[in-house]
Amino acid sequence: MLDAINPSLVPIKMCSAIVEFDQSTPDWTLAQENAPEGSRTYVSNILFDAPFSNVPIVHVGLSGFDIDQRDSARISVHAAAITSTGFDLRIQTWRNTRVYKVEVSWIALGQA
């Protein structure tokens, strides 16, 4: 039995999800034919079920995609503008790559 509780231990909260975006998603421009040379970015605001007490650490990962077979597979995903209530999930492609569908998994870890 512990005589005292370690004050450095803090209740940890975790939340996660898998999200999917495709051509039926409003404002989806990543499948654009004859796209401009620069990059194209789709941003989705992700809200946590309940806020964290501080800004959490957020990790995102590409878990699936559908890209036109004639193009190179150019895609990146990352979290931006992280707050205690959510973050912006940024999906980006460039040059002539046409992305029809993306599946992204994310996890947030922080103080409850």
Do residues 17 and 106 lie in contact, with contact meaning Cβ atoms separated by under 8 Å?
Answer: yes
Strand order in the sheet with 99-111: 12-22, 99-111, 57-67
The pTM (predicted TM-score) of the whole model is 0.85
pLDDT 10s digits, 18-60:
999 999 999 998 988 766 667 899 999 999 999 999 999 999 9
**CATH architecture assigned to 25-111:** Sandwich (2.60)
Question: Could you tell me the residue ranges of all domains in the chain?
Answer: 25-111
Is the pLDDT reported for residue 101 higher than 90? yes
Question: Does the pLDDT at position 5 exceed 70?
Answer: no
Q: Which residues contact 100 (CB under 8 A, 6 or more apart)?
A: 22, 23, 31, 66, 67, 68
Sign of the dihedral through C-alpha 41, 22, 18, 61: negative
- Which amino acid is present at 50? A
